[in-house]
Amino acid sequence: MKQYNHSEIEKKWQQEWASARAFETPDTVAGKENSYILFEFPYPSGNLHVGHWYAFALTDIYARFERLRGKNVLFPVGFDAFGLPAENAAIKHGLNPRTWTYQNMDSMRAQMRAMGCTFDWSREVVTCAPEYYKWTQSLFLTLFNAGLVQKKTTTVNWDPVDKTVLANEQVLADGTAERSGALVEQKEMDQWTVSITKYADRLIDDLEPLDWPEAIKDSQRNWIGRSEGAKLTFTLSGSYGSLQVFTTRPDTLYGVTYLVVAPEHELVSVALPALANKDAVEAYITAAKRKTERDRLIGEKEKTGVLLDGVTATHPLTGESLPIYTADYVLKGYGTGAIMAVPAHDERDAAFAEAFGLPVKKVIAPRLVDDRNPHVEGKEVVTRNAVIAVVRNPENDTYLTLHWPAQQWHTFVIGGVEGEEDSVAAALREITEETGYTDVRFVRKLVGPTRSEFFAAHKDVNRIGYFDIHLFELGSLEQKVVAEEEVKKQTYEWVPRSALTTAMTHTEMPFILESLDTGKEFFWSGEGILVNSGEHTGLSSAEAKQRITEAAGGELVSTYKLRDWIVSRQRYWGCPIPIINCPHCGPVAVPEDQLPVVLPEIDDYMPRDDGRSPLAKATEWMQVSCPSCGGNAERETDTLDTFVDSSWYYLRYADAKNEQVFADREKLNAWMPVNFYSGGAEHTTMHLLYARFFNKALFDLGLVPSAEPFTKRLNRGLILGTDGNKMSKSKGNVIDPDTEVARFGADTVRSYLAFIGPYNEPGNYPWDPNGIVGVRRFLERAAAIPEHVVVETPAHVRQLVHQSIKKVAEDAARFKFNTAIAQLMVLTSAICKDGIGKDDAQLVAVILSPFAPHLAEELWQQLGGISLVAHEPWPQYDASLLEQATVIIAVQVNGKVRGQVEASKDATEADVLHAALGQESIQKWVGDTDPKKVIYVPGKLLSIVV
């Protein structure tokens, strides 16, 4: 075409596609494989931003590519249309949330049509439409009947000013409400809860075979947070019964010096009336309620708590009496809400014990094996207690070290602890024996005990040493004479701090250095060998976990960070929960033939003062008779979390219009599981986990064909403003896609976003105004291809065409759209320079079409193609053409380029000269005379001098 008029072309083809219903997908096509390509359906905010383009148009590139590759592609679209923003807008501007939402969807549909995507609009789903939420309600009841949904008392964020429950996202970091600014409280309320935790193990274990990026799988595993541990029971004093704790470290049981229960723990309220410090405990509980869970866990370093003065626990193995505290670092909803505290090996317990002056008892020694000096087979193993003395001379900041010439060791003063001797006394004795110094003062403990294995060559035994390591300071250089035998064994030397490295012989060196650096005793929270643990002393942590749990009468269990999913919302603009609360029968399901329970019309969307949802203002709607006993009853007034709506929308796309069932089983068989799901990183845990759970629950009930809904998943990156910051109105760096489309065309915007970076590597890509201009030029050259049609494609162009067919397919299959575009740019430039035959030009239109679909249709038509390019097959490349590498060689005559020849890469000088002289344009400069001189730069240049 002479001029690339994008708006004309794009409008024309969007109309053609729509009137031909080009992308309505049948459920089966003979001889074609189905491919279900899904992106996260948008919230109808009212305006498309660049992020939407990046999400939809780039997934469309893949959908188009799959279609060209011969698949029957389902590429559906819809709206996740319930939710808070509509309600907030309604409250703020006095609008009806339905009106607001439907208007927004209308304008977004128009914007989306401009993208040139192959959406199948005939399967559109809108979650706020009764035809859709009828099935959300039906599936909710399916889970209810399967025992996976219950009403439970849970802790929620409560805004005392707005009198409403807040989602975590509505609570700011300082613990105040986003809207009202009130200090958010924690309140116990009855909430509808889905038992996602029943699926915790399968949600972890079934990740393994999925074709998902490892990072996403890991996030899900961490979010679910499976911990293997034990439940142990402690008997309580008086008539309080017993207390169960959850621990991942039953091997540390002998190190327990106190217990802690969460402020909400039952024991606190039960014991409260009889406690000696009742008032202090009550005050503490009130304060704890103000803090969010996050603050309690990580917010404060200072540990707070209060003793339950009047109840104690008995250690199940030693019979010792242990104090019990309540402290908010222990959470109600995790494990059993009670812990056994081991301040020697748990950092949080250590901080608490320090603040409250509680005893610390070490029971685990890290196991250290000296690889440079390992146990020698067949030698006797001798275990002993030992000590390492790190002696510092404060005068010149040097340290006392020993050289062992026979063993090539480099150590601190080191020796055994005899019998009942104290390890500090033993160290002082060894210092004098080995180096003669007598004026030495104990400073502090650095490390210990450790459990170290090495071969003690000087004693010819395999040593297992339990080491304490202490720091001493030299008072003066006062010295005794050192015995001759000691001098023979080792000599001493004062070295600077920098010479103390892991090159020294002790395997404990990293621990020693850490303690010297931090000024604190080395803290071991890992596993190891048990010490101070009665009959279990000497066992490894792994063995001890089982044996101690058994001995204490406990049980091994797993716990999870994942909580059950609270789906109740005290909001208007959501799917009504199809339950009737009967004073006699309790919660009763609304009979299936009465679904949907339609959202009632009201005109004030604020929650009620008592915290109940605004639906409770529709008093007539609310009053019903119980389906079970016929008595007076009330409808449930909470609505469902919108994540419930989006947990099954991909199933509805398979059969969006069905009025008998949420989706016909045959159609689900045809489409599920989704082949490819593209989405945002923010949905890695919540939505993706909820949807997997939902699908699994339905799978177990025999309602869907696969246990997993999404075979392959990609999280896309983020498009930033031109200044490299996240686009935001306040920064003034927002790129409006409609403006860009008006200026450059949808094909340019699509291709530019494809070119901006590899789609499969979620990164942050700044919008570059020059970059999009460059892509526009590329499409202008592509638009000119029909002007460059020649009778026969030059061989090198032909080769490039076939190389491009291969490379673009390979790149697109791996979501490397950027390098695919780069290849198309090279190809287009070559065509504009050297021409292309018509048949080959048609192939170019096909491989360009996923990226610039409107332009490709136009080219296809101009080049005589029949029907739509979007329905063509992907061309086959000719492998033999890829091999046969020809090159263009410039020909100079007397230093000036006069023409070019095409020749095989390994043509000889004579071949190239012959070809050059065969061309009239060159012949006329050379004439009849023999060239004086010929220079050939292989594959590049032929220079003729006459």
What is the C-alpha separation between 506 and 494, in angstroms, rounded? 17
What minimum distance in Å lies between the beta carbon of 681 and ligand ANZ? 24
What is the C-alpha separation between 759 and 746, in angstroms, rounded? 18
What minimum distance in Å lies between the beta carbon of 251 and ligand ANZ? 8
Q: Which of 256, 446, 595, 626 binds Zn ion (CB under 5 A)?
A: 626
What minimum distance in Å lies between the beta carbon of 365 and ligand ANZ? 13
By beta-carbon proximity to Zn ion, the closer residue of 628 and 819 is 628
What minimum distance in Å lies between the beta carbon of 154 and ligand ANZ? 15
By beta-carbon proximity to ligand ANZ, the closer residue of 228 and 592 is 228
Q: Which of 584, 657, 726, 814 binds Zn ion (CB under 5 A)?
A: 584
**What residues have CB less than 8 Å from 180, skipping those under 6 apart?**
159, 161, 162
Our separate counts of H helices and E strands in the chain read: 30, 40
The helix (run of H) or strand (run of E) holding residue 403 is strand 398-404
Count of other CB atoms within 10 angstroms of residue 333: 13
Q: Which of 50, 327, 582, 782 binds Zn ion (CB under 5 A)?
A: 582
The helix (run of H) or strand (run of E) holding residue 944 is strand 941-945
802 binds, among ligand ANZ, Zn ion, none (CB under 5 to 8 A by kind): none
By beta-carbon proximity to ligand ANZ, the closer residue of 250 and 611 is 250
Burial code (b: 16+ CB inside 10 Å, e: under 16) for 335-354 equals: bbbbbbbbbbbbebbbbbbe
227 binds, among Zn ion, ligand ANZ, none (CB under 5 to 8 A by kind): ligand ANZ
> Cα-Cα-Cα-Cα dihedral of 596, 597, 603, 606, to 10°?
-120
628 binds, among Zn ion, ligand ANZ, none (CB under 5 to 8 A by kind): Zn ion
By beta-carbon proximity to Zn ion, the closer residue of 585 and 622 is 585
Q: Segment near Zn ion (CB under 5 A), from 546-554, 563-571, 623-631, 725-733?
A: 623-631
Q: Segment near Zn ion (CB under 5 A), from 129-137, 575-583, 779-787, 908-916?
A: 575-583
Count of other CB atoms within 10 angstroms of residue 630: 11
Q: Segment near Zn ion (CB under 5 A), from 277-285, 313-321, 620-628, 794-802?
A: 620-628
Q: Segment near Zn ion (CB under 5 A), from 270-278, 283-291, 383-391, 585-593?
A: 585-593
249 binds, among ligand ANZ, Zn ion, none (CB under 5 to 8 A by kind): ligand ANZ
What minimum distance in Å lies between the beta carbon of 345 and ligand ANZ? 3
Asked whether the beta carbons of 549 and 228 are under 8 A apart, the reply is no
CA angle 558, 559, 564 (to 5 degrees): 135
C-alpha separations of 235 from 218, 307, 553, 709 in Å: 39, 17, 12, 47
By beta-carbon proximity to Zn ion, the closer residue of 629 and 946 is 629
The SS3 call for residue 844 is helix
What minimum distance in Å lies between the beta carbon of 623 and Zn ion? 14
629 binds, among ligand ANZ, Zn ion, none (CB under 5 to 8 A by kind): Zn ion
What is the C-alpha separation between 724 and 767, in angstroms, rounded? 8
Q: To which residue do tokens 């004439």 refer?
A: 927
What minimum distance in Å lies between the beta carbon of 529 and ligand ANZ? 14
Ramachandran sector of residue 559 (left: φ over 0; alpha: ψ -120 to 50; beta: rest): beta
Please name which of 911, 901, 906, 900 lies closest in space to residue 884, comparing C-alpha atoms: 906
What minimum distance in Å lies between the beta carbon of 152 and ligand ANZ? 18
886 binds, among ligand ANZ, Zn ion, none (CB under 5 to 8 A by kind): none
787 burial via Cβ count (<10 Å: 0-12, 13-18, 19+): exposed
By beta-carbon proximity to ligand ANZ, the closer residue of 76 and 554 is 554
What is the C-alpha separation between 88 and 84, in angstroms, rounded? 6
Asked whether the beta carbons of 517 and 500 are under 8 A apart, the reply is no
929 burial via Cβ count (<10 Å: 0-12, 13-18, 19+): exposed
What minimum distance in Å lies between the beta carbon of 583 and Zn ion? 7
* 585 near Zn ion, judged by CB under 5 A: yes
What is the C-alpha separation between 125 and 40, in angstroms, rounded? 12
What is the C-alpha separation between 551 and 545, in angstroms, rounded? 10
346 binds, among Zn ion, ligand ANZ, none (CB under 5 to 8 A by kind): ligand ANZ
User: Where does this chain bind ligand ANZ (CB under 6 A)?
Assistant: 227, 246-249, 252, 330-331, 334-335, 337, 339-340, 342, 345-346, 525, 559
Q: Segment near Zn ion (CB under 5 A), from 445-453, 618-626, 876-884, 908-916?
A: 618-626
Tokens of 903: 């020749």
* 499 near Zn ion, judged by CB under 5 A: no
What minimum distance in Å lies between the beta carbon of 230 and ligand ANZ? 9
What is the C-alpha separation between 578 and 140, in angstroms, rounded? 8
- Pairing relation of β-strands 306-314 and 226-236? antiparallel
The helix (run of H) or strand (run of E) holding residue 98 is helix 97-113
582 binds, among Zn ion, ligand ANZ, none (CB under 5 to 8 A by kind): Zn ion
By beta-carbon proximity to ligand ANZ, the closer residue of 531 and 809 is 531
By beta-carbon proximity to Zn ion, the closer residue of 584 and 731 is 584
584 binds, among Zn ion, ligand ANZ, none (CB under 5 to 8 A by kind): Zn ion
* 525 near Zn ion, judged by CB under 5 A: no
Please name which of 374, 562, 337, 571 lies closest in space to residue 456, comparing C-alpha atoms: 374
What minimum distance in Å lies between the beta carbon of 228 and ligand ANZ? 9
* 274 near Zn ion, judged by CB under 5 A: no
By beta-carbon proximity to ligand ANZ, the closer residue of 364 and 464 is 364
Residue 456 per-residue DSSP state:
E
What minimum distance in Å lies between the beta carbon of 21 and Zn ion? 50
By beta-carbon proximity to ligand ANZ, the closer residue of 345 and 545 is 345
> Cα-Cα-Cα-Cα dihedral of 367, 372, 377, 381, to 10°?
-40
By beta-carbon proximity to ligand ANZ, the closer residue of 334 and 765 is 334
What minimum distance in Å lies between the beta carbon of 548 and ligand ANZ? 12
By beta-carbon proximity to Zn ion, the closer residue of 626 and 870 is 626
585 binds, among ligand ANZ, Zn ion, none (CB under 5 to 8 A by kind): Zn ion
Q: Segment near Zn ion (CB under 5 A), from 30-38, 251-259, 393-401, 584-592?
A: 584-592
Please list the helix, strand and coil fractions of the chain in percent, rounded to the nearest 5, in that order: 40, 25, 35
What minimum distance in Å lies between the beta carbon of 634 and Zn ion? 11
What minimum distance in Å lies between the beta carbon of 216 and ligand ANZ? 21
By beta-carbon proximity to ligand ANZ, the closer residue of 52 and 231 is 231
What is the C-alpha separation between 677 and 711, in angstroms, rounded? 8
Which residues are near Zn ion by CB under 5 A? 582, 584-585, 626, 628-629
